[in-house]
Amino acid sequence: TSTRPCCTLAGTSADVLIVGETGTGKELVARCLHDQSARRDRHFVAINCGGLPEALFESELFGHEPGSFTSAAKRRIGKIEHANGGTLLLDEIETMPIALQIKLLRVLQERRIERLGSNEELPINVRFIAASKSDLREQAAKNEFRSDLYYRLNIATLTLPPLRERREDIPLLFQHFVVQACARYERAAPELTPEKLRELMAHDWPGNVREIRNAADRFVLALDDLDPQAALQAVPALNLARQMDLVEKTLIEQALRRCQGKVPAAMELLGTPRKTLYDKLNRHGIVLDDFR
């Protein structure tokens, strides 16, 4: 998907459906939508619909009151209620039991829930983001997913192509994860050499974003085995601040390239005020005419 619809949707309260292969970064995009929204200071709650036994699913989602079933000794707050005011990600929604899909549709329409064992309806203010690795339209046509829920979720859809179809994002994603790995492991970042960049661009990345994140970890820890035949070379270390500058410069250049050097469009893509953007252009020595 392009950055523009992401930026547009982040500023709204619209529920969103994110579709993409395993590892394409669906949760990363969902967190980005949350972090750039007015809900950023409230909870971001994620639930993997494929990782829950059907018997526990309803309680996990809606919560329960004491005595609502045999092992319910005390009240439990469900994921929807916990996310109140914030965002709830329903990952692998294609695996949600049909009976629960009916209840979820009602919640999306009425914005109210009932805990199991309770007759009290609770108003909720939650942004729902659903993620799927399957074609829900196709599943709905086969009656494997409720068509009414699909059409309700399909109002705002982001489709994430696999990395092999968006190779221009590979250097940026790799640098982003290198910065994270440096902070996590308290290591200086190795230099991303032209040889390494060519190696990254030539790889097909069947594991998508998840695989490139792991590759960045190995790169920082000097355990890089993307090309098992390549011997590691000693390269000069860059400090973390310098590496973050490189990522920022790459982001700005990528936005300008997509917008053909048009500043207003680049401001929208980056979510950056005009003065801030011009300050960064000067600091990084970026010339607008190079992108026009």
Considering the domain architecture, whether residues 242 and 113 belong to the same structural domain is answered as: no
pLDDT at 97 (0 to 100):
92
Considering the domain architecture, whether residues 9 and 79 belong to the same structural domain is answered as: yes
**H helices within 156-260, ranges in order?**
170-185, 194-202, 208-220, 240-258
Which of 126, 161, 196 is a domain's end point? 161
Q: Picking from 6-15, 38-47, 233-242, which range would have the lowest pLDDT averaged per residue? A: 233-242
End-to-end CA distance of the chain: 23
Considering the domain architecture, whether residues 18 and 152 belong to the same structural domain is answered as: yes
Write the single-letter amino acid at 93.
I
pLDDT at 9 (0 to 100):
79
Question: How many domains in the chain?
Answer: 2
Residue 231 pLDDT more than 60? no
Q: How confident is the model at residue 287 (pLDDT cuts 50, 70, 90)?
A: confident
Residue 68, helix vs strand vs coil: coil
Q: Round to whole Å and give the CA distance between 247 and 259.
A: 18
Residue 238 pLDDT more than 60? no
Considering the domain architecture, whether residues 139 and 283 belong to the same structural domain is answered as: no
Average pLDDT over residues 134-143: 94
Domain that holds residue 143: 3-161
Considering the domain architecture, whether residues 142 and 245 belong to the same structural domain is answered as: no
Considering the domain architecture, whether residues 27 and 76 belong to the same structural domain is answered as: yes
Considering the domain architecture, whether residues 132 and 20 belong to the same structural domain is answered as: yes
Considering the domain architecture, whether residues 133 and 21 belong to the same structural domain is answered as: yes
Q: Round to whole Å and give the CA distance between 250 and 247.
A: 5
Q: Which of the two residues, 137 and 72, has the higher pLDDT score?
A: 137
Which of 113, 140, 161 is a domain's end point? 161
Considering the domain architecture, whether residues 206 and 99 belong to the same structural domain is answered as: no
pLDDT at 78 (0 to 100):
93
Average pLDDT over residues 44-65: 88
Considering the domain architecture, whether residues 7 and 131 belong to the same structural domain is answered as: yes
Considering the domain architecture, whether residues 48 and 15 belong to the same structural domain is answered as: yes
Q: Which of the two residues, 266 and 55, has the higher pLDDT score?
A: 266
CATH code of the domain containing 262? 1.10.8.60
Residue 187 pLDDT more than 50? yes
CATH code of the domain containing 104? 3.40.50.300
Spell out where the chain has E strands.
16-20, 44-48, 63-64, 76-77, 87-91, 112-113, 122-123, 127-132, 157-160, 189-190, 237-238
pLDDT at 234 (0 to 100):
33
Considering the domain architecture, whether residues 264 and 235 belong to the same structural domain is answered as: yes
Verdict on whether the full-model pTM lies above 0.85: no
pLDDT at 28 (0 to 100):
84
Which of 161, 178, 200 is a domain's end point? 161
Q: Which of the two residues, 72 and 261, has the higher pLDDT score?
A: 261
- 8 Å CB contact between 127 and 36: no
